[in-house]
Amino acid sequence: MKINGLGLRMIIGISLLLVLLSSLTVMASPLRKAITVTGEGLILNYTEEKYFTEEQFNYEYKKYRKNKSQYLADFVENFSSIFLTSSLQAHDWFISFESRYSMRTRESKCLILIKCKVEGAATGGVERPYFRTEWLLIPLLGRSIDLYQFNYQKDKIIAYHGKVKGIPMSITFKFSKSINHCHYHIWYR
């Protein structure tokens, strides 16, 4: 079988496209996400755990090792553009790549752990703050799910478990005192 110049270029082009597309599959969404927001004074401590397959985890870790400051800067920029309005600020960023192995289950879990402190979501004094949550909930869950779909774990903790864009996700709010809430606000009893 004889291949002319155009046929050879098409084969090379298709091969390159397949290589590019196969490398994009490594960038798939996390297997699940867990977000915990803990109230401390007038600050909300944000923690996000993203669980990946080992292949995805290794890919992300290689990107991180290649340019750590750029990797974190890209995450901060993305987080800020989605969640932070002009009245909110996030600082004290922390990122960690963890591979956890359980001797009991003989399974490993690969995750990226991201933490920061969010200021500007609380009004009032330290003794009686009023925390806004719409900055986090509306971008993630839309307006159809609010704090009324969360369940009390204890009188100081409320949590949501569901799927967002097909990905299992939990969102937990924890406080040092008993809380009440409305659609998008939390306050101490």
Question: In the prediction, which pLDDT does 18 show?
Answer: 37
CA distance linking residue 135 with residue 148, whole number of Å: 16
CA distance linking residue 65 with residue 52, whole number of Å: 17
CB-side exposure of 88: number of CA atoms within 13 Å? 23
Question: In the prediction, which pLDDT does 65 show?
Answer: 95
User: Radius of gyration over alpha carbons of the chain, in Å?
Assistant: 21
Question: In the prediction, which pLDDT does 1 show?
Answer: 52
Give per-residue pLDDT as tens, 24-70: 333 458 999 999 999 999 999 999 999 999 999 999 999 999 999 99
Within the chain, which residues score under 70 in pLDDT?
Answer: 1-28
What pTM value is reported for the model? Answer: 0.82
Torsion angle in degrees (nearest 10) through CA of 168, 79, 60, 20: 90
Q: Tokens 């803990």 belong to which residue?
A: 38
Contact present, 172 and 153 (Cβ < 8 Å): yes
DSSP secondary structure string, 41-79? TTEEEEEEEEEE-HHHHHHHHHHHHH-HHHHHHHHHHHH
Closest CA to 53 of 103, 113, 99: 99
